[in-house]
């Protein structure tokens, strides 16, 4: 349930490559605006001037020498800036914040994909995020092979270029979150048609029973 100590809502979207998160964010924003709610849309890494520069480094396919530890620390640095510059002020103003990836992405990609382990990621995430924990995390899940097939048509970034074993580990980490029993995580069948994916997500949002979402 939403944190009663703050006025706004923080909703995050997670999933492996090709899971349609960005498409879903746009569809959610359109539906919310029709209901009279203007969401703050953010992405990770990025979302701030500092974070976007960090994003350029993280996704640059020419920087193959970037180590897993450096990758994790850069991700967390971008996240810390985003929380302090954008997310906390927006929540204090009572806004609905929707973020395309957040702290769970580091658990999946650096903890799982890079095999650094969740125990290495958790304290860094806790420092970066603090009390800005999501009220709801939509896990957009689909078989890794399907996701990889979806992204073949575009110019892949540094992470998208990783081998199948890496993406299988990322997918397994997200599946573990979905099976954890934590009520914050809500699974979305990302292999369904876009309209059906949107309806699944809207159902999860409505279940929060928050004043911001009363028009949905």
**Dihedral sign from CA coordinates of 163, 107, 51, 150:** positive
Q: Average pLDDT across each block of 10 residues of the chain; the chain has 216 residues. List them in order.
A: 71 93 95 96 98 96 95 98 98 97 98 97 98 97 83 79 91 96 96 95 96 90
Triad 130, 128, 77: Cα angle to 5°:
165
DSSP class of 84? I
pLDDT of residue 119: 97
pLDDT of residue 160: 85
- Which residue is listed with tokens 């001037």? 49
Asked whether 127 and 77 are in contact (CB, 8 A), the reply is no
**Would you call 182 helix, strand, or coil by DSSP?**
coil
**CATH value of 9-213 in 3.90.180.10, 3.40.50.720, 3.40.50.300, 1.20.1260.10:** 3.40.50.300
pLDDT of residue 157: 86
pLDDT of residue 150: 79
Nearest to 43 by CA among 30, 67, 66, 59: 59
pLDDT of residue 1: 57
Q: What is the pTM of this model?
A: 0.93
For 78, list phi and psi in degrees, rounded to 5. -60, -40
| Domain extent listing, the chain | 9-213
């Amino acid at each position: 349930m939403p944190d009663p100590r703050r006025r706004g809502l923080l909703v995050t979207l997670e999933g492996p490559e090709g899971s349609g998160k960005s498409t879903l964010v746009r569809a959610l924003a359109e539906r919310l605006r029709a209901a009279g709610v203007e969401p703050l849309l953010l992405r990770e890494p990025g979302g701030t001037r500092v974070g976007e520069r960090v994003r350029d480094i993280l996704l640059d396919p020419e920087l193959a020498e970037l180590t897993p530890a450096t990758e994790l620390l850069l991700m967390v640095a971008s996240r810390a800036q985003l929380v302090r510059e954008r997310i906390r002020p927006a929540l204090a103003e009572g806004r609905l914040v929707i973020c395309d990836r957040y702290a769970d992405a580091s658990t999946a990609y650096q903890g799982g994909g890079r095999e650094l382990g969740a125990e290495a990621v958790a304290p860094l995430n806790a420092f970066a995020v603090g009390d800005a924990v999501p009220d709801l995390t939509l896990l957009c899940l689909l078989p890794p092979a399907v996701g990889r097939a979806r992204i073949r048509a575009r110019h892949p970034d540094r992470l998208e270029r990783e081998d199948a074993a890496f993406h299988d580990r990322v997918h397994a980490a997200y599946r573990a979150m979905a099976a954890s029993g934590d009520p914050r995580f809500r699974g979305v069948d990302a292999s369904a048609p876009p309209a059906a994916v949107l309806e699944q997500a809207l159902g999860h949002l409505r279940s929060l029973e928050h004043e911001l979402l009363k028009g949905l």
